[in-house]
Amino acid sequence: MENELIDLVMDDTRDRMARAIDHVKSEFAAVRTGRASSSLVENLLVDYYGTETPLKQLANFSVPEPRLLVVSPFDKGAMAAIEKAISNADLGLNPSNDGVIIRLAFPTLTEERRKAFVKLVKAKAEEGKVALRGVRRHARQELETLEKEQGLSSDDIERLEKVLDKMTQDEVAAVDVLLAHKEQELLEV
């Protein structure tokens, strides 16, 4: 019984940490690098006939050139709403609508803007690390509860806490690798 409960706590912790890493990746994807990428706009909410709908449900995306993103709406009646959502998102992009598709030209980033994006990415990485440490803290509380209720030995708890610490260190290192990659991508001219 004890081992099953311990396995449940550890599996839940691994799952939560994986979700935290996925969240950091999606946050990083939303930061513009000067190259066209649909991840920057696909989750924008568009007022589609009175309903807030993610853009990825309303259109296809293509990147015909490194600095050009083409948005092809499924419903041509949604063009104005999509264009408005992109304009209001404050992404530094000016949508160009020809009645069939919307073109988004990505301007080259200035040095100042690149540094601002690096600062933003570092903040998002730190949020990810805090989330990972929060998952570890939650797992430790669950283990302490098991210790009190199930009579786990302090040696078992100590061993499991070392496993938790190692797991957390590995995931924090993964965030650092993601951060270094994103920084390099942002500073690349």
- CATH at residue 59: 3.30.1360.40
Q: With a cut of 80, say whether residue 93 has pLDDT above it.
A: no
Residues 23 and 48 in one domain: no
Angle, vertex CA 37, rays to CA 183 and CA 21, nearest 5: 55
| Residue range(s) defining the domain that contains residue 99 | 38-105
Instruction: Give 7-49 pLDDT, tens digit per residue.
Output: 888 999 999 999 999 999 888 877 766 677 777 788 888 888 8
Q: Are residues 24 and 115 in the same domain?
A: yes
Same domain, 174 and 123: yes
Residue 130 pLDDT level (bands cut at 50, 70, 90): very high
Mean pLDDT in the chain? 87
Question: How far apart, in whole angstroms, are the C-alpha atoms of residue 76 and residue 73?
Answer: 6
Q: How high is the pLDDT of residue 21? A: 94
Residues 122 and 83 in one domain: no
Q: How far apart are the C-alpha atoms of 179 and 18, rounded to whole Å?
A: 16
Clarify whether residues 84 and 49 are in a common domain.
yes
- pTM value? 0.70
pLDDT at 135 over 90: yes
The verdict on 75 and 115 lying in the same domain is no
Task: Tell me: pLDDT of 178 over 90.
Answer: yes
pLDDT in tens, 156-170: 888 989 999 999 999
Instruction: Of 165, 186, 176, give the one whose Cα is nearest residue 126.
Output: 176
What total of structural domains would you count in the chain? 2
Same structural domain, 123 and 142: yes
| Predicted confidence band of residue 189 (pLDDT cuts 50, 70, 90) | low
- In this structure, are 23 and 44 located in the same domain? no
What one-letter code names the amino acid at 100? V
For the chain, give the number of residues.
189
pLDDT in tens, 49-68: 888 989 889 899 988 888 88
Tell me: pLDDT of 136 over 90. Answer: yes
Render the chain in DSSP notation, one character per residue: -HHHHHHHHHHHHHHHHHHHHHHHHHHHHTS--SS--GGGTTT-EEEETTEEEEGGGTEEEEEEETTEEEEEESSGGGHHHHHHHHHHTTSS--EEE-SS-EEEE-PPPPHHHHHHHHHHHHHHHHHHHHHHHHHHHHHHHHHHHHHHHH---HHHHHHHHHHHHHHHHHHHHHHHHHHHHHHHHHH--
Indicate whether 97 and 144 sit together in one domain: no
List the CATH number of the domain containing 126. Answer: 1.10.132.20
Together in a domain, 125 and 157: yes
Residue 46, Cβ neighbours under 10 Å: how many? 23
